[in-house]
Structure 1
Amino acid sequence: MRFLLRLVSPLLGLLIAAVGAVTAVEVVTAWLVPTSSPLLVPWPTWQAAVAGLAWSSGVTRGVAIGIAVVGLLVMLVGLVARRHDVVLTEPVPEVTVTTSPRSVARAVGHEVRSHADVVSASVVASQKKIVVKAGTLDPPDEVRTAVRERVDAALTRLPLARRPRVSVSVAATKGVK
C-alpha cells in the first residue's frame, strides 16, 4: 500500500501543479489581451455550459459525489499506508522508542530457527500479533511446545511495551532425517 501511495502522491501533486500553471497562463492571457481567444483551455465554452447548471442539478451533485469519493479513497490509501511501528519500552519518559515489525519478526525467526528440530520457519509480526509457522521432521506436537517456549523467551528479551498475541503452528515436512 505504501508503494501505491508513493506512486499516487507525486502524480496527484503534478496534476494539481499543471492545473495551477495552466490556470495562471489563461488568467494572464485574459488580462493582457482580453479580446483574444483562449490560449490552451476553451474556458468560454465551459463557462457557458456551467452557467446553465444549478446547485440542485443532478450533474452538479454527481460531480460533487465523485470528487468526495475520490478524496475519501486518497485519504484511505494514506491512512492504510502509514508505517505500523512496534512500540518499545521507554528508557526515559522523554524518549519514544519504536522498531519495525520486520525487525521483531527477524528476531523471533532467528530464535525459532535455532531450534535443532526446526527445518524451516516463517514469522510475520505486527504490533498486535506474531504468527509463526515452522516445519519439522519430527512429530509436530512435540516440537510445537518447544517452539512456543522459544518464541516466549525471545519476546521476554525484547523490550516490547505491549506483548503481542502469538500464534504458533508446526507442520511435518517431507524429507529424510
Structure 2
Amino acid sequence: MRLLVRLLAILIGLVLAIMGALLLLEIGWTRLRPASDPLIVPWRAWLDLGGELSWSAGTPTLASLLAIGVGALLCVAAIMARRRVLHLHDPGPDVSVTTSGRSIARLIVRRVRAEDGVSDVWVNADHRHIRVRAVGSDDEDGELLPRLQLLIRDVVADLPLREYPRVSVALRAPRSRR
C-alpha cells in the first residue's frame, strides 16, 4: 500500500508541477502579447464558461462530488500506508519501544542460517505473521523442519514483544534433489 501512496504522491506532484509551469508560461505570454490568444491553455474560454455557469447547474455539483471522492480516496490510501511496527514491552513509564518486521526477519535469518543442514532461508515478518521459508541441504532423517520450528519459536519467544505474531515455517529440498 505504501507503494501506491508513493506513486500517487509522485503523480500528483508531477501534475501540480506541470500546471504551475503552464500557468507561468501563459502569464509570460499574456504579458508579452496581451491582445493575442492564449498559448496552450484556453483559459479565456474557460473563464467565459465559468461566468456562464450558475451554482444550481449540474457541472459544479458533479465537479465538487468528484473532488470529494478523490480526496477521500487519497486520505484512505495515506492512512492505510502507515508503517507497521511491532511493539516491544516498554522499559519505563515514559518510554515506548518499537521495532520493524525487517529487523525481526534479519535476526531470524541469522539464527536459521547458523543451523546445520540449512543452505538458504527467506523470512517475511510483520506485526501479524512471521513466514520462514528454508532450503534444507541435508534432511534425510526428517528432523530439520521440527528443529527449525523449535528454533524460530524460541527466537520469537525471547523477544520482548507485546503481542506475538503467528509463525509458519516451510522447508523445501534444494533444486538439485527435486
Query: After TM superposition, is the score higher than 0.5?
Result: yes
With normalisation by structure 2, the TM-score equals 0.73
What per-residue deviation string (whole Å, max 9, x for no partner) do you get for residues 112-165 of structure 1? Answer: 222212211110000111001111131595322111101111112211111101
RMSD after superposition = 3.4
Per the alignment, residue 168 of structure 2 pairs with: 167
What per-residue deviation string (whole Å, max 9, x for no partner) do you get for residues 83-133 of structure 1? Answer: 111111100121000111100111111122222122111100001110011
Per the alignment, residue 65 of structure 2 pairs with: 65
Per the alignment, residue 154 of structure 1 pairs with: 155
Judging changes above 3 Å, is the alpha-carbon distance between structure 1 residues 7 and 172 closer, same or farther for their aligned structure 2 residues?
A: closer
Gaps of 5+ in 2: 28-33
CA contact (8 A) 1:85 1:127 kept: yes
Percent pairwise identity: 34
- Aligned pairs, number: 168
CA contact (8 A) 1:139 1:172 kept: no
1:143 paired to 2:105: no
CA contact (8 A) 2:130 2:165 kept: yes
Question: Which deviates the most, 134-143 or 76-85?
Answer: 134-143
Judging changes above 3 Å, is the alpha-carbon distance between structure 1 residues 151 and 56 closer, same or farther for their aligned structure 2 residues?
A: farther
Gaps of 5+ in 1: 27-35
CA contact (8 A) 2:132 2:170 kept: yes
